């Protein structure tokens, strides 16, 4: 097992069977996480990039079985922010010191290309990097966002197991998801994707395929988090994903893609009180504190137990900075592109 870990750290290559062995192993997890942390330090240094997250709409036309924002969920109070409200939150994020804002929403057709491009252009005037996470669009829409100033796009594959994908995402097409990622890459975006760990019906073999897929498409950002059941979804009674397995998937991803950006996801901390700091010490180098204000933080209810829903953006910024410094790391002052 140590030979596999050392091979991954030295060559950044593993066969599917070797990844499966690492994911199944219970004895050498400390060595795996330590190797991922060393690779992170070598390639990315000790700076942690903060991205200010703006959750601008919890309306979604899709009906994914695991997601609290799913179209058929009648137990959620819906909201959407007007363009100028989003721009104002971005302005405040800049004032808090964020060099990147992440605009995240459900798939909400209210935000036409014109509205989105207006938002992007105005935020770009603030001299920040912009990441969009708003689902599947056609190539022309992605191109328009890019020309307006968007730098990155986050579209998680969630699982590369096609049968599982179609079971969990009714009415959606795995092939179209892949097409979106290819379009984004061809348009010059920094492309983010990722997976959920512990989905019902998911195997360690399929998680190994997920990691190899990330390497195959040469993704620039990978978000990995545990599946957390939401009682207002069809998977409400399902067993949730494990924190430890999520950490292992993240660590192996770091070993195989040594220079990418990997966030310590909020879902990690929903399962473990120090989840994000542990992730930062196991290969991650990004944190995305929420800069959405007021009631909207609570209403963007992807899953239960979401952290920091009662905090202010200012408190979150100070809190995460203190935690990062406490583990001997520092907040970056750069935009945090993969290749600076």
Contacts of 54 (CB under 8 A, 6+ apart): 81, 86, 89, 90, 93, 101, 102, 103, 104, 291, 292
Spatial distance between the Cα atoms of 143 and 140, rounded to a whole number of angstroms: 5
Asked if residue 28 lies in contact with residue 18, where contact means CB atoms within 8 angstroms, the answer is no
- Residue 42: name the closest of 306, 214, 255, 203 by CA: 255
190 is in an annotated binding site: no
318 token code pair: 């100070």
Q: Is 51 marked as binding a ligand?
A: no
For every residue of 246-268, DSSP letters joined together read HHHHHHHHHHHSTTSB-B--HHH
CB 282 within 8 A of CB 41: no
- The CA-based diameter of the chain, rounded to the nearest angstrom, is 54
Report the alpha-carbon distance of residue 40 to residue 284 in Å, rounded. 7
Bridging pattern class, strands 221-226 and 330-331: unpaired
| Contact call for residues 290 and 337 (beta carbons, < 8 A) | no
- 64 annotated ligand-binding residue: yes
Chain CA centroid to CA 284, Å: 11
Tokens linked to 171: 């009415």
Closest CA to 226 of 200, 252, 192, 262: 200
> In terms of Cα–Cα distance, which of 120, 139, 246 is closest to 183?
139
206 assigned ligand-binding residue: no
Structure tokens of 46?
């000790």
Annotated binding-site residues for [4Fe-4S] cluster read 60, 64, 67
Annotated binding-site residues for S-adenosyl-L-methionine read 158, 177
Annotated binding-site residues read 60, 64, 67, 133, 158, 177
Annotated binding-site residues for (3R)-3-methyl-D-ornithine read 133
């Amino acid at each position: 097992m140590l030979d596999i870990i050392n091979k991954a750290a030295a060559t950044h290559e593993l066969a599917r069977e070797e990844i499966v062995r690492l994911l199944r192993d219970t004895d050498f997890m400390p060595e795996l996480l330590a190797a991922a942390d060393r690779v992170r330090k070598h390639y990315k240094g000790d700076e942690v990039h903060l991205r200010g997250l703006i959750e601008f709409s919890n309306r979604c036309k899709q009906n994914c079985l695991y997601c609290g924002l799913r179209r058929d969920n009648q137990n959620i109070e819906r909201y959407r922010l007007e363009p100028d409200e989003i721009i104002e939150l971005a302005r405040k994020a800049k004032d808090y010191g964020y060099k990147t804002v992440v605009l995240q929403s459900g798939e909400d057709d209210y935000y036409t290309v014109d509205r989105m491009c207006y938002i992007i252009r105005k935020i770009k005037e603030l001299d920040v990097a912009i990441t969009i996470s708003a689902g599947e669009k056609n190539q022309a829409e992605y191109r328009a966002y890019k020309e307006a100033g968007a730098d990155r796009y986050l579209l998680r594959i969630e699982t590369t197991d096609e049968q599982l994908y179609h079971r969990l995402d009714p009415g959606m097409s795995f092939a179209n998801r892949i097409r979106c990622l290819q379009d984004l890459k061809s348009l010059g975006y920094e492309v983010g994707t990722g997976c959920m760990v512990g989905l019902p019906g998911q195997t360690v073999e399929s998680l190994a395929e997920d990691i190899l897929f990330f390497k195959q498409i040469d993704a620039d950002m990978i978000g990995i988090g545990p599946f957390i059941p939401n009682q207002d979804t069809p998977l409400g009674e399902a067993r949730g994903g494990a924190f430890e397995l999520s950490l292992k998937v993240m660590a192996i991803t770091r070993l195989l893609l040594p220079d990418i950006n990997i966030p310590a996801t909020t879902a990690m901390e929903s399962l473990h009180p120090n989840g994000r700091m542990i992730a930062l010490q196991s290969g991650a180098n990004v944190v995305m504190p929420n800069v959405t204000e007021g009631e909207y933080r609570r209403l963007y209810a992807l899953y239960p137990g979401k952290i920091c829903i009662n905090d202010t953006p200012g408190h979150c910024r100070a809190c995460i900075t203190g935690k990062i410094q406490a583990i001997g790391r520092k907040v970056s002052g750069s935009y945090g592109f993969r290749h600076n």
